[in-house]
Structure formats: structure tokens, C-alpha cells
Structure 1
Amino acid sequence: MTDPFVANSHILHRTFATRPSKVTKGNGISFTLEDGKQIIDASCGPSVSCLGHSQPEIFDAITNHLQNDIAYVYSGSPYTNQATEDLATLLLSSKPGGLSKAIFVNSGSEATDAALKLAAQYWHERGQPQRTHFIARKQSYHGNTIGALCVSGHESRRAYYKDFMSKNVSFVDPCYAYRMQGSDEDNDAFVKRLAKQFEDEILRIGPDRVAGFVAETVSGTTLGCVPAVSGYWKAIREICDRYEVLLILDEIICGMGKTGTMHAWEQEGMRGPDIQTIGKALGAGFVPLSGVLLHEKIFQALSAGSGGLAHGHTFQAHPLACAAAIAAQNIIKRDNVLEKVVNLGQKLEELLREEIGPLPLVGNIRGRGLFWAVEFVLDKDTKRPFSLEDNFSNKVVASALKRGVNILGNLGHTGTYQIDHVLVCPPYISTEEDIKGIVSLVKDAIVETSGPFL
């Protein structure tokens, strides 16, 4: 049944059955509803509002830019603007992992599309236009546009659009140790098995036909904040290099400081990717902004070839969005926020493991920095999952909301493994007391929701 408010609203809301609560304002790590109730945003929306909901410096940067600069410059024109140039310099002046150029777009989905098209253009410029095949991972999510869905392994999100899905994409297993690593298999053996599967897929397709491998450095909403086991990314990077396959890392949700380093791949003991997508925390939610970072070798190939970027959008490199993101990134750098993410992350991990880990329906707790998830199971020993009909994680989310804390549940059926989880990803500006309060409220919500299943 459709809720009357949703039926009468001129917005096509994403859920029809329930009336959405109206948010009236935000302050710090909380926002206020129309009835005056305050909600702690313990997931930053979908891991976006990393600096909370009120940052006067960012507000001033937006206002100052509109008063003293230009609101819009078309990226396809023979012009640039200072905000766009400055944001790229801020992110890439040290050339992390060899990344040297940026493309700024609006959503993470746009960034994924831009990355795929950039990879395709790169191989054309290199004289290998037959390299059109992409390998991605099962139960992954890279965005909701058609191009992004083609390389996403999220089954329910792909379901309506199967006829539009590209035939030049194949999928290998993710590095999901909790359910996929054998009981008699150590990390090295697990990595070797996954690496062999990836290499075998390259050989099956033909190395001269594979354009790139697309994967989240730390899995996001589909698997729930799953870091790869030690050595996995180093092995993947070596295989990509062996066959000249571009490594395209999606850090839209896990990057920009979420795991304690600016780029999640910096903790993996490897050189960086060839192409990387970023977003969400880039503009901290104050503006829509995502980006693609590319290795110098990509730029050199385009420069030596056609001498330009074939891809483009009307609102690409929007000056106002870039100005707001500069202010957000300056706060993160000036206030040593990443150090705080590491310290708070250690406290969050400790509390999640001590307070929530022992609960009877909690199977696994994983994450890094301030990017954590709790996976639920009906049986800890067998790891038996809940059914889709149980809708357990979203019931936990609803119970938490009653207690005044916002967390994120899993979004639909993602693939072979039915995974019920919630994401707990507090803003970077949280305090230790905030973290304690969040964990306590989430624990109460899990206990309440667990009752009928025990």
C-alpha cells in the first residue's frame, strides 16, 4: 500500500510504503526532524557527511566563491577556473602512487562511467582497441547508471535492466574471508586461490582483450566494509602488471580518509591503481562531487594520441562544487583529521567487538578506520544467514532510529551470499563519547530486534 504523503508528493520517493520523516536542519553529527527529534547520524548518510552537517568554513567558502568568482564554467569550453585547478593540485601535488590528473564529476556513478570510458580511450590511444572486456567482482556495487551497473555484481539492482547489461563484463569472487575462506585455508592460500581465479579469467578472455579490473579497495554496502586479507591487493596488482590490465579501484565510499589514510590502497603494500574513483567524503556532503584520478601513464598515452579527453559532462568540474570541496579537504588536512580517524577507529572497533560481538545473532565485525559493519547470522557456528523475508538488518535500522541514531542497512539482495549487515561509519568529527553512545544505542537496537529470533 502506498503511503498517502508519498502518493500526494510531487517527488517520486524511493520507497512508497512509508512516509519519510522531514529533516529541518543539521548541527554537528546530528540532524533534526520536523517534530524536533534529534538523530545522531552514525552512518554519515551513505557514508558521505564525514565532517558532520554544519561547517561554517565550508558555508563561507561557498558564499565567497559565489561573490568573488564565477558560479559555472563549461569544461568543454577553452576555459578553466581556479577552484577546479586548486582542488586537483590539493589532491595530486604529491602524485600519490603515480596518480597525476583528475576529472571531477557529480555522482559516484558518473565517476565509474568516466573511468570505464577513460580506460577504453586509453587502449584505443595505445593501438589496442580490441581491449574492451572488463573483469569485476561478484556482489560489488559501483553505481546506478547503466554503465556502472554493468560492472556491478549487485543482483537486485541489475535485475530490471538485464537486457541493457554489457556482454563484455565477467565476474570473479570477492575477497570475502568470513564466508569464502576455507577452515583449513590460511591467508596465503586464500589469496593464491583468488589470484589464480583472476588470472585464469584473464587467460580465458584473452590478455589482449582485457581492458581493466574494477573493484572496491574495501567493499562497501554490498558486502559490508570488507577489507581484503593481507597480500590480496599486492597479488592482484602484480597480475594486472603482468598482463597490462588496468587496475581500476573504486574508493567512492571507502576513500578520502574513511579507513584512516587518504586512499584505502595506501595500506595494502602496493603501488597505486592506474585509475581510481573518489567521491562521497570528497565534498563531505555539502556539494555533489565525485572524481576520477588517473596515473601519469594514462595521460601520456592520451597526450601522445588524440590529445584530448573524449568523455565529458555539462556540469563536469563545477567551480562551486570544487570550492566547497577545497574547504572540506583543508579542514581535514589542517586539523590532522586522519590521525583522529585512526584513533577513533580503534575505539570504535574495540567497543563493537566488546559490546556487540558477543550478541547471539552477530556473526562478524569488520572494517577499518571509521568504516565498520556488523554482519548478522541465525547461527554463529554454521554462519547460517537470515532469509530475505526476515529483513533483519533493516529492522535493526528501524529500531536504532527509534532510539535516535541513524545507521545504514544492506540494500537488497546482492548475490550468492545472503548478507544481513549494518554499517556504522560515524563522522570524522565525532568524539569518544559520541562513539560510546552510538555503540550503546546500536547494541540496544540489535538486542530488541533479536528477540523474536532467539
Structure 2
Amino acid sequence: MSHIFSRHCHATPPRAVGGEGCYLIDDSGKRYLDGSGGAAVSCLGHGDADVTAAIEAQLEQLAFAHTGFFTSEPAEKLADLLIEHAPGDLDRVYLVSGGSEATEAAIKLARQYWVEKGEPGRGRLIARKQSYHGNTIGALSAGGNEWRRQQFGPLLLDVSHIDPCYEYRYRRDDESAEEYGARAAQALEDELLRVGPDTVMAFMAEPVVGATAGALAPAPGYFKRIREICDKYGILLILDEVMCGMGRTGSLFACEQDGIAPDILCIAKGLGAGYQPIGAMLCTAEIYQTLADGSGFFQHGHTYLGHPAAAAAGHAVVSAILNRGLIARVKEQGDKLVTRLEDRFGQHPHVGDIRGRGLFRGIELVADRDTKAPFDPARKLGAALKKAAFNEGLICYPMSGTIDGKTGDHILLAPPFIIEDAQLDELVDKLDRAITATI
């Protein structure tokens, strides 16, 4: 009998006892190809000696010092490294313990910024349907997946949600990808005018949507227009790169590929690569200076902010991504992965769309390719696919509710950046068998 409060009360997962490169190993000796990096976390794979050594060295020197009293060398070094490579005017780093903490901090910072600027009427956040920003109350309020939100409705903040940029479902036959991108972005301006721009503090979005929509990349020009709208009405742009950032899509920061920079940016997952729990919120110098010139205090905080061992891990991970040529490798292996997926599933009767960037790829499953009709949600296809793939020795990330939180199914793939060609073949073969067994 286990005393662990597990994610699902009626399922006992196998016990992981080891990790080696792109594989996890359970207590029976079975090896699982980590085709989703857990949840797009394990970008360096398992058992990276350099990262482990960095953590061990830091623990021998200093395990913990509360940021209410001290800063630390690894926290300072990680912040410097991130800002050295960050886009736009991002200048300050607030180190937390994970993605939900990062997005929660971003929402609270956006609010306090406007209070400190003397505009306390700006308290509304606009986000998108079918987004996911975390599981704390503020982050869940920002998220746009109705299934995740439903039972917690009475606890959630009042957040406006506009349609996502979802070309496969929403682009009309008579418009180009660029025209659709402009139309999708217009939804933000329409909502701003509906609620009153002077009541809005920020717009929040994932550059490439992860868990709830399956590597959903924006149409061309979408985010440039979003940035223009935010600037026109003086609202902040918060980008959530918790899942899609840190090299996952082929650039260190995902927004670089859309030619924009946010006012506040959130990262996690790949920042620590699973070796330590860590996330970060980055903001511009102007936002930081507004607080510095006002109260001088961000009214927020957690015990493990800037944890030295976690920061040492983060610095080692980001250094590895940059110094080992892994961003170029993400592009190269990502191209190979999508070619394999298209060759195997491009004409599959139940594959409607193959999408994404870099080593962040999604497959949307449909009951009918011609009509794009989804499967009946009663089939619980996502759960069945996860189980079938796991039985094959493949870890992937299937989800249901892709379209509206209730209907639609997709599979998210986010393997380690170190994945080899033969392992790409193994991933596609095992996924094919899982899909065949399930559908």
C-alpha cells in the first residue's frame, strides 16, 4: 500500500528507478523512450553528468539561503545568462520553482505595475481559449481550457478569453495564412474595445500552445499584430514560454521566431530539464523601475525563490543548450521528426493535422479527415492512447478536449534534444502501433 496521493486514484504507475539518455527505466527493467520529455521537461535527457556535477558542487558549498536575507552566486549567474540572450528590453529575472509560480507572479506583477503607475482601474487580464498557464488559482483563471476550469469556477478570477490562433480549425478557405493571422489577432482589439482598454492590464498567451492544443503554432504575422495592438492601447504583453521555451521550438526563446518581445515572459520546464524544480519570470527594465521608483517592493514571494541548487542546475542546463549546439540540433532533429511523422501519418484516415516547431510537435486526430469531425469524447481517446503507447515502451503526451475543452484529441511530442535518428524511428514505430491498437 502506498501513502502517495497519486494523480489518479485508480491507477498505480510503475516505479521509475533509473534514466539513461532518452530512456526511463522502471523497477522491472523495462525501458521507455521518453518521447515527450515527461511534459516537455527533459530537454537534455536523463543522467546528464555536467548538470548533476553542478548541483552536487553547489550543495557542497550552499544548499539554501532565503532571498529575504541573501542573494546567491548561482542565482546571479543564471539571471545574467538569461538576460544576455533574452529578446527585447527584458532585464530582470525573478526565479521561482516552476511554471505555475512563474505565470502567477507575472499576473501579480502586471497588476502591481499599474497600481504603482497610478492606474488602479487596470485589473482585467485577457487570455485565450484552449490555453494552459498553470494550476494555481490565478494561472488557472488565465488558462482557457474549460474542462480544467469547470469545477473550480467559483474560485477563479474574471478573465476575458478570446479565440486562439488555430489555423487548422478556424482559417477560411478564401483567406491566406497571413490574412487569417490578422483576423485572429483582431479578436484582441475587439475585446479591448468591448471591455474598455483602460480596464485591461495585460494580454497573456503561449507563443506555441502546448498541453491543451498540441503544439499549436501561430499563423504568420499573428504575434506582430498582437504586439502592435498591445502597444496601441498601452497594455502589457505576457508570453508564457513555460513549455515551448528554452530551445524547444528551435530558438532559446520561442517568441524570437515571431520577431517580437514581450513585457513579461515566463519560463520553466526546459530551464531545469527535470534536474531541479525551477522556473523564472522575466520583465523589462521599465516595469522593474516603476516598482523601484514607487513602493520598492514586489508584494509577492515564496520560500524557495532563487534556490541556489536549482539556480545552479538552471545555469548548467542553459549553458549546455547554448554551448553544445543543441538549438541547431533541435531544428535538425525537428525537421527529421516531422518528415517521419508526415511520411507515416500524413495520409492516415484519422490524422487531421501535423503541426509545431522544432522538437515540439502535435498530431490532431479526427474521426473524419474530410469534415475534420472529432471522435466522440466518450471514447476517452487521449487516455487510451497514452496507455497503449506506454505499453509499447513509449512516453508521449496525448490529450482530449483539443477543440473546446470537451471534444477533439491530439498527441504532443517533445523528445529530448539529444534524440538520435534511430530513436526517432523507434518513436514513430511505437506511436504507429499505439494508434493502430487504439483507433
TM-score class, shorter:
over 0.9
The question of 1:61 aligning with 2:50 is answered no
Give the corresponding residue for 1:5.
Answer: none
Instruction: Specify which of 49, 67, 70 is matched with residue 42 of structure 2.
Output: 49
Instruction: Specify which of 77, 94, 97 is matched with residue 106 of structure 1.
Output: 97
Q: Which whole-Å CA distance do the structure 2 matches of 1:191 and 1:335 have between them?
A: 35
Give the corresponding residue for 2:356.
Answer: 367
Structure 2: unaligned runs, 5 residues or longer: none
Question: Deviation string for 1:274-317 (max 9, x for gaps)?
Answer: 00000000000010001101112111211221223221111111
TM-score, length-scaled by structure 2: 0.97
Give the corresponding residue for 2:140.
Answer: 149
Indicate conservation of the 8 Å contact 1:223/1:419, yes or no.
Answer: no
Indicate conservation of the 8 Å contact 1:257/1:338, yes or no.
Answer: yes
TM-score, length-scaled by structure 1: 0.94
Aligned pairs (5 A) from 1:43-442:
43-68=36-61, 70-77=62-69, 79-167=70-158, 169-270=159-260, 272-410=261-399, 415=404, 418-442=407-431
Q: Which whole-Å CA distance do the structure 2 matches of 1:80 and 1:401 have between them?
A: 43
Sort the Cα spacing of 1:104 and 1:53 in 2 relative to 1 into closer, same or farther, 3 A.
Answer: same
Q: Which whole-Å CA distance do the structure 2 matches of 1:300 and 1:212 have between them?
A: 18
SS at match of 2:46: coil
Q: Percent identity?
A: 43
Aligned pairs (5 A) from 1:24-35:
24-35=17-28
Indicate conservation of the 8 Å contact 2:382/2:400, yes or no.
Answer: no
Q: Which whole-Å CA distance do the structure 2 matches of 1:422 and 1:94 have between them?
A: 31
Aligned length: 439
SS at match of 2:287: helix
Give the corresponding residue for 1:39.
Answer: 32
User: Which range moves more in the overlay, 258-267 or 439-448?
Assistant: 439-448
Q: What is the Cα deviation at residue 396 of structure 1? A: 2.0
Sort the Cα spacing of 1:24 and 1:412 in 2 relative to 1 into closer, same or farther, 3 A.
Answer: farther
SS at match of 2:353: strand
Question: Deviation string for 1:66-98 (max 9, x for gaps)?
Answer: 112x11111122x21101000000110255211
Q: Which whole-Å CA distance do the structure 2 matches of 1:399 and 1:189 have between them?
A: 40
Indicate conservation of the 8 Å contact 2:381/2:400, yes or no.
Answer: no
Q: Which whole-Å CA distance do the structure 2 matches of 1:293 and 1:125 have between them?
A: 18
Indicate conservation of the 8 Å contact 2:271/2:318, yes or no.
Answer: yes
Aligned-residue Cα RMSD (Å) equals: 1.3
Q: What is the Cα deviation at residue 383 of structure 1? A: 0.3
Indicate conservation of the 8 Å contact 1:48/1:284, yes or no.
Answer: yes
Question: Deviation string for 1:371-424 (max 9, x for gaps)?
Answer: 001110000000000121111232222222121111011166772672201111
Q: Which whole-Å CA distance do the structure 1 matches of 2:310 and 2:434 have between them?
A: 37
The one-letter amino acid of 1:259's match is T
Question: Deviation string for 1:1-45 (max 9, x for gaps)?
Answer: xxxxxxx32111111222211111111110111111111111000
Indicate conservation of the 8 Å contact 1:61/1:324, yes or no.
Answer: yes
Indicate conservation of the 8 Å contact 1:155/1:414, yes or no.
Answer: no
SS at match of 1:76: coil
SS at match of 1:301: helix
Structure 1: unaligned runs, 5 residues or longer: 1-7
The one-letter amino acid of 2:91's match is S
Indicate conservation of the 8 Å contact 2:401/2:407, yes or no.
Answer: no
User: Which range moves more in the overlay, 43-52 or 325-334?
Assistant: 325-334
SS at match of 1:218: coil
The one-letter amino acid of 2:364's match is E
Moved over 6 A (4+): none
The one-letter amino acid of 1:73's match is A
Q: Which whole-Å CA distance do the structure 2 matches of 1:359 and 1:194 have between them?
A: 29
SS at match of 1:49: coil
Instruction: Specify which of 11, 20, 26 is matched with residue 18 of structure 1.
Output: 11
The one-letter amino acid of 1:294's match is C
